[in-house]
Amino acid sequence: MTKIDIKGAIVADSDKWFYDMFGEPATAPKDINEAIANDTDGKLELEVNSPGGLVNSGNEIYTALKSYDGKVIVNIVGEACSAASLIAMAGDTVRMSPVAMMMIHNIKNGLMGDKNDMQDNAELLKKYDAVIASAYVSKTGLSKNEILDKMDKTTWLNADEAVDLGFADEIMDFGQKDKPMQLVAANTKLYPPQMIDKFKDLMAENKRLKEMPPHETIDITTDNFIDKVVAKLKEDSKPQEPKATGFERFLF
């Protein structure tokens, strides 16, 4: 069985390195695609604890899992919110810890513009909501209107509620002899692209400076410097004949 962690923010492939550099948990489509490519026994087990993230990355991960020929088991051990809840819907079997939570809501973005831009953006968001809702409908069997209504309200579901509504199939049973697993309440936020781009520029500049050839060493010892200054002062103190310039010198 191939185990895959869906932890931290759901991010773009191009941004994953930034989170890795700072030790921040994050999941990108390439993580899942690589795991699927290396799988040999036809069974994936996902451990999910994520606040969500980029919808397109979530869509890509969901599609990769649904296209997988083997069995997909999803264990929600902390939270599966937003894009992470979408990813969870790809599981053939979805299990939730009794202390886990799931959250579904409408798609958001930070568009700025005039009223026409806002209207166009609202229509686009509606289409995205409908697309995401189809994944919840497929898993739960609820109608699209029921799902869209829950997304409108930003719905939080505990394990019992998720199972009752069909978002999950069963609740994990740790048994009396088993220790309950450690759960982390993640509240990871996406780093803004501007911050990542700025950091890329700083890294490139740092690399450029390191690759520059060493500068020629200049002797600036104190004695040497003083000798040069004294010699220059002596040279400047010598009387000089005025040079003919075609104009008479003026004194003020």
**Average pLDDT over all residues of the chain:** 85
Q: What is the mean pLDDT of residues 6-23?
A: 95
For residue 63 the two structure tokens come to 């599609």
Using pLDDT thresholds of 50, 70 and 90, give the confidence band for residue 111.
confident
Closest Cα to residue 72, out of 40, 44, 41?
44
Let me know: does 80 contact 48? Beta carbons within 8 Å: yes
Let me know: does 21 contact 53? Beta carbons within 8 Å: no
Query: How many other CB atoms sit within 10 Å of the CB of residue 57?
Result: 25
Phi, psi of 224 (to 5 degrees): -65, -40
Residue boundaries of the structural domains of the chain? 2-201
Q: Is the pLDDT of residue 236 over 70?
A: no
Q: How far apart are CA 35 and CA 53, in angstroms?
A: 20
CATH number of 2-201: 3.90.226.10
Instruction: Give the DSSP per-residue string, 125-180.
Output: HHHHHHHHHHHHHHHH---HHHHHHHHHTTEEEEHHHHHHHTS-SEE----SSSPP
In this prediction the pTM is: 0.73
